Structure 1
Amino acid sequence: MLRGERTWWFLGPGGVARLADRHVTPDGGLRPEAEQRLRASGMFTAATVRSYALTVLTSTHCNLGCGYCFQNTAQDLAGGSRPPRIARTRLTSETITSILGFTERRMAAVGLERLRILLFGGEPLLNPRGCLELLERAADIAPTSAWMISNATLLTPSLARRLHDRGLTSVQVTFDGDRDDHDRIRVGRADGSGTFDKIVRNIVKASEVTPLRWTLRVNVSQETFHGVDALIDRLGAALDPTRCTLYFARIGDVGVGYANSLLHTGELSSAFTRWQRRALELGFTVNRPGGRKTCVTCGHTDGRYGAVVSADGTLASCWETAGKPDWEVGTVADGYLPGAGTGDRWIACQDLYSYDEDARTLARFRDTVDTALLDHLHETGRL
């Protein structure tokens, strides 16, 4: 339950509802009749899982040298763009065969008939052949759609078209603040070169030949905070906002020596609100807040509805541990290890991230930003 400026908001697993004061008790709880109506309308019921969620690292190597990456094993002690990373592996045809056999068995066990693939890395496009082969062969076992998390520096129009023809519908790309900040942080691993203009250019060219949609993640830290307003306007001018979702994410610490000193203060919540409203003004999509949902990939300790597979066929519980030694929970050849042996290795989304603030501060930040966005969406007729 969130208290807006003129109304109350209920965020549940089945959706969002706007409530009046008469629906809410003095201490902010639901009155029985309101709760009964919300339950009857499905607001307390999570959506049915309809697709098996398969994440595959097609390459664990990356052509960028971002210092905060959770796949780094340490910082670059020379201060350059080559932090040490997880072991380099590459998806092969043989491993694809094992992955798809494992996937068929898992889908049959839970009665799912559709497949949703995430092409992941490292940088997945360092192995374009593996990406294309995986999608093409996956279509033989189930109706398949796909999305990809990529830095987009290697995405050519021809490759974008071929991936789309095999089921790719959207790509998530990260920006580290406005151009100058981004080109100082998100740099080429080989030579430390900036990547901002190349990424934007590649998105534009891929959009000209495909209907791909784009999720633009803006990393927020003390290094990028002051350039985000300009970045939003720059992206709005360079890209087609109607095909882009824009979201903002504070970079967390995953123990690789990267510190983000930007705290979840009132200034940060007001900045997130300002950025979201400007993005909406320019025509970008901003994801509507919702109730906390269980991740289909890592939220079930038995891997019931999805799996994360590294390029060598090793299973992990979540993206953040894929390819890391001592975090394996099985292999696609042999299946998951017994639960008693993997309990400490089964982590869910962002379990490895640590913050300098307590859980109450983080929750207050999220609630403040979510309430402001819901109020604005309602007031502007976008809800």
Structure 2
Amino acid sequence: MNLEEAGRTTGARLLRGERNWWFLGPGGVARLRAGHLTADGGLRPDTERRLGERGLLSAAPNHAYSLTVLTSTDCNLGCAYCFQNTAQDPSGGGRPPRITHARLTSQTITSILDFAGRQMAAAGLDRLALLLFGGEPLLNPRGCVEMLARAADYNLSSAWMISNTTLLTPKLARRLSDLGLDSIQVTFDGDREDHDRIRVRRSNGGTFDAIVGNIARASDAAPLRWIVRVNVSHHNFRGIDALVDRLAEAVDPDRCTIYFTRVGDVGVGYANDLLHTGELATCFTRWQRRALEVGFRVNRPRAHRVCPTCGHTDGRYGAVVNADGTLSSCWETAGKPDWKVGTVTGGYLPGAVTRDRWIACEDLYRYGEEGRVLAEFHDTVDAALLDHLDETGRL
């Protein structure tokens, strides 16, 4: 099998480690030696057969419908890079203009769940996976609670939220957890000083201590898990080593999965001068290893996979629904009228209309570099992580 062909059909990747090769297929990871490969870097027929017998060439079928619901398009923070901004704050402060206000209501929840039920039946799916999204979803806590409670009638199998957590209280965390919320993703923009310059309230003021404190108190109140996203830019990357250690002291790292990502621009005028260079790859590797040392979880690299929400232009396995019931193809275009692909009451618009509006994960992001450079960066970082997981018995 030629790896380029395999990558197109299955998302498979082949990475060069320090002492061996790593094969990442839709069904898992395998360690390979040079003898498993052909002279042109493909898989030998016997290697391909063995990988197939181990199930590494086949992805598990979808059983759950992936539904993303914005409970509010408003946000109490004013981060300059947010893809829901429409421009930068002309005054240079923390109040960038945003997408139009919308708030989830009981009536819209009914329409959304009716739509999800129809989509699940059409695709033969028997479970629902729910993401509560915003804006800041906790600006509408009633909407979050009602959406979770009513989703139970659709065999809710998992639920998570992306939140800045500045509004999360122990009582609310317990209530959401009781209704099936498993985890919350929260973002940090570097160590405290950098974070408090970047992730600011629209009413002014930093957020680092409030976020950390709310995570700790919510963790005491409910068995939530945390996905910690660390945004990396030229504004903050020198402080991220300190951030990892600070977070490990402030929260329970065993309940946290941490990942690092270079934040880009989606056309709102945000500038990040940090490039995907060898130096940055070395930093990512160091941060990941330190995170593991202090007890955080770091997800193992995987094959490229089709997003269930935006990876199918007919919305077969998932949908992104704005608080007003408007359908978008992806998180990045939610709430933007020019990217509307339908409504929950009327369904998806014809393909001739949605073709140029169907955006998949990170299609809109601009990094100022060629795709090849980004791919090499990710391959380098992922190979180093697999080497380390193997060396330390974590693979």
Bin of the TM-score, shorter chain as denominator length: over 0.9
> How far off its partner does 1:132 sit?
0.3
Contact 1:170 1:215 in 2 (8 A): yes
Q: Which residue of 2 aligns with 1:220?
A: 232
SS of 2:375 mapped into structure 1: helix
Q: Which residue of 2 aligns with 1:75?
A: 88
SS of 2:338 mapped into structure 1: coil
Q: Find the aligned partners of 2:236 and 2:52 in 1 and give their Cα distance.
A: 42
Contact 1:54 1:116 in 2 (8 A): yes
Contact 2:127 2:154 in 1 (8 A): no
AA aligned opposite 2:187: T
> How far off its partner does 1:326 sit?
1.1
SS of 1:302 mapped into structure 2: coil
- Tell me, yes or no, if structure 1 residue 335 matches structure 2 residue 342: no
Q: Which residue of 2 aligns with 1:92?
A: 105
Task: Please give the per-residue CA displacement for 1:157-212, whole angstroms capped at 9, x wherever unaligned.
Answer: 0000000011100000000000000001101112x111000000000000001110
AA aligned opposite 1:345: R
Contact 2:130 2:156 in 1 (8 A): no
SS of 1:344 mapped into structure 2: coil
Q: Find the aligned partners of 2:156 and 2:233 in 1 and give their Cα distance.
A: 40
Match of residue 293, structure 1, among 286, 296, 305: 305
Contact 2:23 2:32 in 1 (8 A): yes
Alignment of 1:1-383 (within 5 A): 1-190=14-203, 192-383=204-395
Task: Please give the per-residue CA displacement for 1:224-256, whole angstroms capped at 9, x wherever unaligned.
Answer: 110000000000111111000010010011111
Contact 2:51 2:57 in 1 (8 A): yes
Contact 1:70 1:320 in 2 (8 A): yes
SS of 2:206 mapped into structure 1: coil
Q: Find the aligned partners of 2:377 and 2:150 in 1 and give their Cα distance.
A: 44
Q: Find the aligned partners of 1:382 and 1:22 in 2 and give their Cα distance.
A: 25
Q: Find the aligned partners of 2:41 and 2:232 in 1 and give their Cα distance.
A: 32
SS of 2:117 mapped into structure 1: helix
AA aligned opposite 1:307: A
Which portions of structure 1, spanning 4 or more consecutive aligned residues, are displaced by more than 6 angstroms? none
Given the two structures, how large is their TM-score scaled by the length of structure 1? Answer: 0.99
Q: Which residue of 1 aligns with 2:4?
A: none
Contact 1:57 1:122 in 2 (8 A): yes
Q: Find the aligned partners of 1:254 and 1:334 in 2 and give their Cα distance.
A: 29
SS of 2:148 mapped into structure 1: helix
> How far off its partner does 1:44 sit?
1.3
Task: Please give the per-residue CA displacement for 1:293-323, whole angstroms capped at 9, x wherever unaligned.
Answer: 0000000000000000000000000000000
SS of 1:139 mapped into structure 2: helix
> How far off its partner does 1:26 sit?
3.2
Contact 1:246 1:279 in 2 (8 A): yes
AA aligned opposite 1:283: G
Instruction: Give % identity.
Output: 72
Aligned residues: 382
AA aligned opposite 1:164: S
SS of 1:222 mapped into structure 2: coil
Given the two structures, how large is their TM-score scaled by the length of structure 2? Answer: 0.96
> How far off its partner does 1:40 sit?
2.0
AA aligned opposite 2:179: R
Task: Please give the per-residue CA displacement for 1:343-366, whole angstroms capped at 9, x wherever unaligned.
Answer: 000010000001211111111100
Contact 1:113 1:143 in 2 (8 A): no
AA aligned opposite 2:161: M
Structure 1 gaps of 5+ residues are none
Contact 2:257 2:297 in 1 (8 A): yes
SS of 1:203 mapped into structure 2: helix
Structure 2 gaps of 5+ residues are 1-13
Q: Find the aligned partners of 1:296 and 1:27 in 2 and give their Cα distance.
A: 33
> How far off its partner does 1:32 sit?
1.1
